[in-house]
Structure 1
């Protein structure tokens, strides 16, 4: 007589999910056994220690809808039939995938050039999407599209997108303790309120960062916001005369706690050690993961994928066509303890052998946060 796995007590199934050796793949397998197990895993979801998957750029050699996701700790590539992402620019927030795509060039006959160029500018202006909470079971949530100087936002109950403009260039946005925060290119941090789409508000809480807190060498490229162990951090990276021919990425990162309470930047706010935390950073986003001893991930490090276009290397390549930058990515692991970079994640990973589609190259690599059933 076959056992009915659905009869197992949900508390017992939940105890399996809580075990530290259960990987993200194991979590998904357990959730797929039956409805009762899925409910138990959803209620007991704890993936704070799980390292993310890496969504690989679209491969132009393949004419299908398969997306590839790389697990660097197991050095394994998973293939997922995902037609919604084909030929589109992709973003990720809280484990959810956002895609955008321009209409075909000949959609608007007689106006294609003008309209299409305007669409491309809008397309390139979007840096990231961010959710206030997972849409699963949420009575209300907000999604934000971050542009250079504008935030487009839409609540669950809204039929249209609204916008909030900024005079300063916005580098990043995140949702932290029930509030959206943005960081500008000068390091100033503001809180944003989107409850009233007709009157969104932005309030500067922290002034621009003093020059002595910014990197003293190279060229600062971007600031990121990330929540780590209950604190709001700002992460800055500097590219220092990097060349693709060099074996090791020449990047440097600095991390500071954001002084939301008093708005005073100080040198002692710099974070030198992340402890058991690992940061995962790409062109569009950054998030933190609490790393366990058996996760296969290095603690107190920043795993990064940054495209040549994001780093602004185009201007320094002599006699090089812009298309030569397609698919070129600065890949590495930055160690917070010694300030050095390692090249890549494992022998099975090689970005140089892949061919990229020009339609999706700006999406680059995307870290997918392990949060499939997250709640606010």
Structure 2
């Protein structure tokens, strides 16, 4: 039998040049990135990738957890940011500064060498943009807060502070292009909704929710709290109204010190018929919303804006009962309102090395 040998020429292998990808495809890929830090690295690949994207149009940032060490004889100039979506840690160095906590995408700084230890500014650790204060305030009485509960309003950071006798709320108003400062009662949580500032006053003498006009600073009225024992509490502005969130009783041995994070549960209330007949209604669910709570603030986002995340949930940061060598254990939990169950969210080991007086917090990096 005669056989014929047929030689088939090899095809030239075509190598894809990643630098030559279509700009439209590059923009689609950039929108799928899980956090802004990855977006910055994406833009640093080459000129073509940088030209296809814009710093003014980054991917939506899922909330991160920010932590900073306690300074013992040295400056605590390192910020560590943990991304839940990518499970990665990013580190930022801010020399010659101490931190006092976040407000939106900014960190409250103070200079340790000034004689009165006065607060200096809010700083964006990604862009180094600073918001300078028009007044000096002692550090130990300042609390950075979040006013824009659902991130619709993101004019700038805000804080609460106290002088010798009174408490004050200080925040930036873009309409005035200036800081607004108003005197407020001793308050535990605050939220800006419908051009009004709602605050919870939960002392031994009063348990009530007050309402202040955003523009004039005039106290408009007081409302009853959502429930008689409204202690572990948050007020959160959303598109659908003002929410009040309460951690159920019996879960802690001290405020913010949790026995078992998987046993933490929450109740959610919505303010109805304000101002004619204001009252609170308990909700069985929050639909597409995700709530984020830490030991300072609370805010909301829509799960449909983030691929792979489920709504009707509450993400929270708390302090565990377990005591480590360098401090108490800090943990992240996720409470599902539909199943009424809580699970522990994976977190890096360093998150559990926090001192009692320093608290991890939710942080949303921004390029603004």
TM-score surpassing 0.5?
Answer: yes
* Separation in 1, partners of 2:38, 2:137: 42
- Structure 2's unaligned 5+ residue stretches are 1-15, 117-135, 202-206
Offset from partner CA, 1:315-336 (integer Å, 9 cap, x none): xxxxxxxxx9964546422222
Offset from partner CA, 1:143-170 (integer Å, 9 cap, x none): 432247421245569898653113x433
**TM-score, normalised with respect to structure 2:** 0.66
Match of 1:282 among 281, 291, 294: 294
DSSP-derived class of the 1:220 partner: coil
| Equivalences for residues 325-364 of structure 1 within 5 A | 327=328, 329=330, 331-342=332-343, 344-346=344-346, 348-349=348-349, 351-352=351-352, 354=353, 356=355, 362-364=357-359
CA contact (8 A) 1:150 1:165 kept: yes
Aligned residue pairs, count = 316
Offset from partner CA, 1:290-338 (integer Å, 9 cap, x none): 2259855453221112358xxxx9xxxxxxxxxx996454642222224
DSSP-derived class of the 2:252 partner: coil
- Asked which structure has the greater CA Rg, the reply is 2
Partner residue, 1:150: 168
Match of 2:209 among 185, 188, 191: 188
Q: CA offset at residue 225 of structure 1?
A: 2.0
Partner residue, 2:241: 231
DSSP-derived class of the 1:88 partner: strand
Is structure 2 residue 257 aligned with structure 1 residue 257? no
CA contact (8 A) 1:171 1:224 kept: no
Match of 1:126 among 121, 132, 143: 143
Residues 35 and 351 (structure 1), Cα distance of their counterparts in 2 relative to 1, 3 Å cut: same
Q: CA offset at residue 285 of structure 1?
A: 1.7
Residues 78 and 127 (structure 1), Cα distance of their counterparts in 2 relative to 1, 3 Å cut: closer
**TM-score, normalised with respect to structure 1:** 0.64
Match of 1:172 among 189, 205, 208: 189
Q: CA offset at residue 365 of structure 1?
A: 0.7
Range with greater deviation from structure 2 (124-133 or 328-337):
124-133
Q: CA offset at residue 100 of structure 1?
A: 3.2
DSSP-derived class of the 1:258 partner: strand
- Structure 1's unaligned 5+ residue stretches are 109-117, 195-199, 314-323
CA contact (8 A) 2:233 2:246 kept: yes
* Separation in 1, partners of 2:219, 2:328: 38
Is structure 2 residue 110 aligned with structure 1 residue 101? yes
Q: CA offset at residue 222 of structure 1?
A: 2.9
CA contact (8 A) 1:30 1:38 kept: no
* Separation in 1, partners of 2:347, 2:159: 36
Which is helix-richer, 1 or 2?
1
Is structure 2 residue 364 aligned with structure 1 residue 369? yes
Which is strand-richer, 1 or 2?
2
* Separation in 1, partners of 2:223, 2:273: 13
CA contact (8 A) 2:103 2:144 kept: no
Is structure 2 residue 223 aligned with structure 1 residue 208? yes
DSSP-derived class of the 1:30 partner: helix
Match of 1:57 among 61, 68, 74: 68
If asked which structure has higher relative contact order (CA below 8 Å, sep 6+), I would say 1
DSSP-derived class of the 1:273 partner: coil
* Separation in 2, partners of 1:299, 1:347: 20
Partner residue, 1:115: none
DSSP-derived class of the 2:158 partner: strand
Aligned alpha-carbon RMSD (Å): 4.5
